[in-house]
């Protein structure tokens, strides 16, 4: 691998940054705090900041906020993860994905300051995002956590104007804790004294009450969620999106008291977020299909429940499912939530992901189910063999969604 001073391409730089990843991850903020100090603490120079944490719905909530803010006439910077096709998607400057040339320049500037020190990829790229946002001013910054809260790299933000918590459930248990209580408390780590918090609808009263208790302990004022009428049209599919939209609307109404309902409605309607209950009807992978094709990056139990609820509303009969998942995911309980919607599941690895389940590994885990399974070496093979006269769902990972969108 090239040394830093020899690197002059974006993909080489991203490979180099990945190589700095510690062999064993000990979650703390020391590495990024050290780096931010060398960069003169750009995170302290941001404008209005919204900080979002949760298990499901962070990206959709961010997108709703972004589109409402832009409809209101604001310049918006966003930091999100993971990306679907290009890393650049993670850093949005004034509504536009960061350009390759600027991204490379910022990555190199931060890498030089880091001086080959061990640091996670997410930590160093978070530092890059905050440096970019300090240089390219906006009216509003919307920051999404990576996978946690308290020890997430984005939580070096001391100045936050408002915090949003989306639905919390089981995911990344190896990092966040094995119980719902542990995971919830970790997510609540982004709460700050005197910083208002908007709480999305939770999977249980237990989680909601736990969040409210933490907010009270940390003296973070709870803002009651604005209720959106069901006749308001959203740009994203699925009834669950009304919950995400309500969080976004409440945040925007709290910050911008004079924002009009007409502006909010336009923003909600214009919102787009690829790979989330997205219908695909064209492109080289799907041009010959006769029935509906849905793609969704759900990869945990709550995500599977959302898919199941949505498929019920479509009443399209039995679906063929193409499944690809990372090997740290709970495949069995994921499939349990959607098994009644299918009689055939095609299994595929996720391309260029060394931690993806192979089709054979997935097949062994799904032996207990009544539906038929077939193994494929590639996504393209699975799609080509899927019956064209039956509805098709492709799910299991956002990385798989990226593969679809890139190849289609």
pLDDT over 90 percentage in the chain:
91
What pLDDT is attached to residue 170?
A: 80
pLDDT above 70: residue 173: no
Q: How many angstroms separate the CA atoms of 124 and 38, rounded? A: 12
User: Are 168 and 116 contained in the same domain?
Assistant: yes
User: Are 295 and 381 contained in the same domain?
Assistant: yes
- 359 in Cβ contact with 287 (< 8 Å): no
- 286 in Cβ contact with 292 (< 8 Å): no
pLDDT above 90: residue 148: no
User: Are 201 and 299 contained in the same domain?
Assistant: no
Among 237, 270, 303, the domain boundary falls at: 270
Q: How many angstroms separate the CA atoms of 391 and 291, rounded? A: 5
pLDDT above 80: residue 25: no
User: Are 359 and 214 contained in the same domain?
Assistant: no
Over residues 24-37, the mean pLDDT reads 91
Helices 100-114/10-19 angle, 10° precision = 30
212-247 per-position pLDDT tens digit = 999 999 999 999 999 999 899 999 999 999 999 999
Instruction: Label residues 62-73 b or e (16+ Cβ within 10 Å = b).
Output: bbbbbbbbbbbe
**pLDDT category of residue 376 using cuts at 50, 70 and 90:** very high
pLDDT above 90: residue 383: yes
What pLDDT is attached to residue 142?
A: 98
What pLDDT is attached to residue 372?
A: 96
First to last CA, the chain: 31
Of 196, 8, 224, 248, nearest to 111 by C-alpha is 8
pLDDT above 80: residue 331: yes
Of 53, 270, 76, nearest to 164 by C-alpha is 53
Among 270, 292, 320, the domain boundary falls at: 270
User: Are 39 and 139 contained in the same domain?
Assistant: yes
Domain of residue 43, residue span: 4-270
Instruction: Count the neighbouring beta carbons within 10 Å of the beta carbon of residue 294.
Output: 21
Helix (H) or strand (E) holding 19: helix 10-19
Q: How many angstroms separate the CA atoms of 198 and 165, rounded? A: 6
User: Are 318 and 180 contained in the same domain?
Assistant: no
Strand partners, 372: 344
Q: For the chain, how many residues are written?
A: 408
Provide the CATH number for the domain around residue 21: 3.40.1190.10
Q: How many angstroms separate the CA atoms of 251 and 226, rounded? A: 9
Q: How many angstroms separate the CA atoms of 398 and 404, rounded? A: 10
Provide the CATH number for the domain around residue 330: 3.90.190.20
What pLDDT is attached to residue 287?
A: 86
**Lowest-confidence pick of 280-294, 343-357, 376-390:** 280-294
For β-strands 91-93 and 96-97, DSSP reports them as: antiparallel
pLDDT above 90: residue 176: no
Helix (H) or strand (E) holding 205: helix 205-217
Q: How many angstroms separate the CA atoms of 404 and 408, rounded? A: 6
User: Are 136 and 209 contained in the same domain?
Assistant: yes
Higher pLDDT, 178 or 164: 164
User: Are 118 and 26 contained in the same domain?
Assistant: yes
User: Are 247 and 120 contained in the same domain?
Assistant: yes
- 147 in Cβ contact with 175 (< 8 Å): yes
**Concatenated DSSP letters for 322-388?**
EE--BTTS-HHHHHHTTGGGEEEEEE-PPTT-TTBPPHHHHHHHTTTSSSEEEE-SSHHHHHHHS-T
Query: How far out from the chain centre does Cα 151 lie?
Result: 17
Which residues are within 8 A (CB) of 234 and not within 5 positions of it... i.e. 6 or more apart? 64, 241, 242, 245, 268, 269, 271
User: Are 250 and 339 contained in the same domain?
Assistant: no
- 52 in Cβ contact with 79 (< 8 Å): no
Mean predicted lDDT score pLDDT of the chain: 95
User: Are 333 and 186 contained in the same domain?
Assistant: no
Among 238, 254, 270, the domain boundary falls at: 270
pTM metric for this prediction:
0.94
The SS3 of residue 44 is helix
**Lowest-confidence pick of 31-45, 170-184, 209-223, 242-256:** 170-184
266-281 per-position pLDDT tens digit = 999 999 999 999 999 8
Q: How many separate domains does the chain show?
A: 2
What pLDDT is attached to residue 26?
A: 79
pLDDT above 90: residue 356: yes
Omega of the bond prior to 82 within 30 degrees of 0, cis?
yes
Strand partners, 199: 165
CA distance readout (Å), 344 to 205, 321, 338, 388: 36, 6, 12, 13
User: Are 12 and 150 contained in the same domain?
Assistant: yes
**pLDDT category of residue 172 using cuts at 50, 70 and 90:** low
Residue 298 φ/ψ, nearest 5 degrees:
-55, 140
Q: How many angstroms separate the CA atoms of 235 and 225, rounded? A: 20
pLDDT over 70 percentage in the chain:
99
**Lowest-confidence pick of 102-111, 215-224, 262-271, 282-291:** 282-291
Dump strand ranges (E) for 146-234: 162-165, 197-199, 222-223
Which residues are within 8 A (CB) of 209 and not within 5 positions of it... i.e. 6 or more apart? none
DSSP state of 152: S
């Amino acid at each position: 691998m090239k040394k830093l001073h020899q690197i002059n391409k974006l993909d080489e730089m991203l490979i180099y940054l990945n190589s700095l990843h510690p062999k064993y991850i000990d979650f703390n903020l020391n590495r990024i705090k050290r780096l931010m100090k060398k960069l003169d603490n750009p995170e302290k120079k941001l404008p209005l900041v919204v900080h979002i944490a949760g298990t499901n719905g962070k990206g959709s909530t961010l997108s709703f906020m972004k589109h409402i803010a832009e409809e209101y006439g604001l310049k918006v910077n966003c930091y999100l993860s993971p990306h679907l096709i290009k890393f650049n998607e993670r850093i949005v400057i004034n509504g536009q994905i960061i350009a390759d040339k600027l991204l490379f320049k910022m990555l190199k500037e931060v890498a030089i300051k880091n001086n080959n020190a061990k640091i996670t990829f997410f930590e160093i790229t978070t530092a890059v995002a905050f440096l970019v946002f300090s240089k390219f001013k906006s009216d509003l910054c919307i920051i999404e956590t990576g996978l946690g809260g308290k020890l997430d790299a984005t939580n070096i933000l001391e100045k936050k104007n408002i915090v949003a918590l989306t639905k919390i459930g089981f995911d990344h248990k190896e990092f966040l804790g094995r119980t719902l209580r542990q995971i919830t408390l970790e997510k609540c780590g982004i709460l700050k004294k005197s910083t208002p918090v908007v709480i999305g609808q939770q999977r249980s009263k237990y989680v909601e009450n736990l969040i409210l208790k933490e907010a009270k302990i940390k003296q973070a004022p709870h803002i009651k969620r604005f209720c959106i009428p069901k006749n308001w049209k959203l740009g994203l599919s699925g009834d669950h999106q009304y919950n995400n939209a309500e969080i976004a609307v409440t945040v925007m109404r709290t910050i911008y008291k004079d924002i009009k309902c007409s502006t909010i409605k336009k923003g909600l309607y214009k919102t787009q977020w690829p790979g989330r209950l997205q219908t695909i009807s064209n492109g080289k992978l799907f041009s010959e299909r006769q029935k509906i094709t849905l793609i969704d990056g759900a990869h945990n139990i709550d995500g599977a429940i959302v898919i199941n609820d949505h498929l019920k509303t479509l009443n399209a009969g039995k679906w063929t499912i193409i499944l690809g998942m990372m090997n740290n995911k709970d495949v069995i309980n994921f499939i349990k939530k959607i098994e009644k919607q299918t009689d055939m599941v095609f299994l595929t690895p996720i391309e260029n992901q060394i931690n993806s389940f192979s089709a054979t590994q997935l097949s062994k885990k799904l032996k207990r189910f009544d539906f038929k399974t077939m193994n494929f070496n590639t996504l393209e093979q699975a799609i080509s063999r899927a019956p064209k006269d039956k509805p098709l769902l492709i799910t299991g990972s956002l990385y798989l969604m990226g593969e679809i969108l890139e190849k289609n």
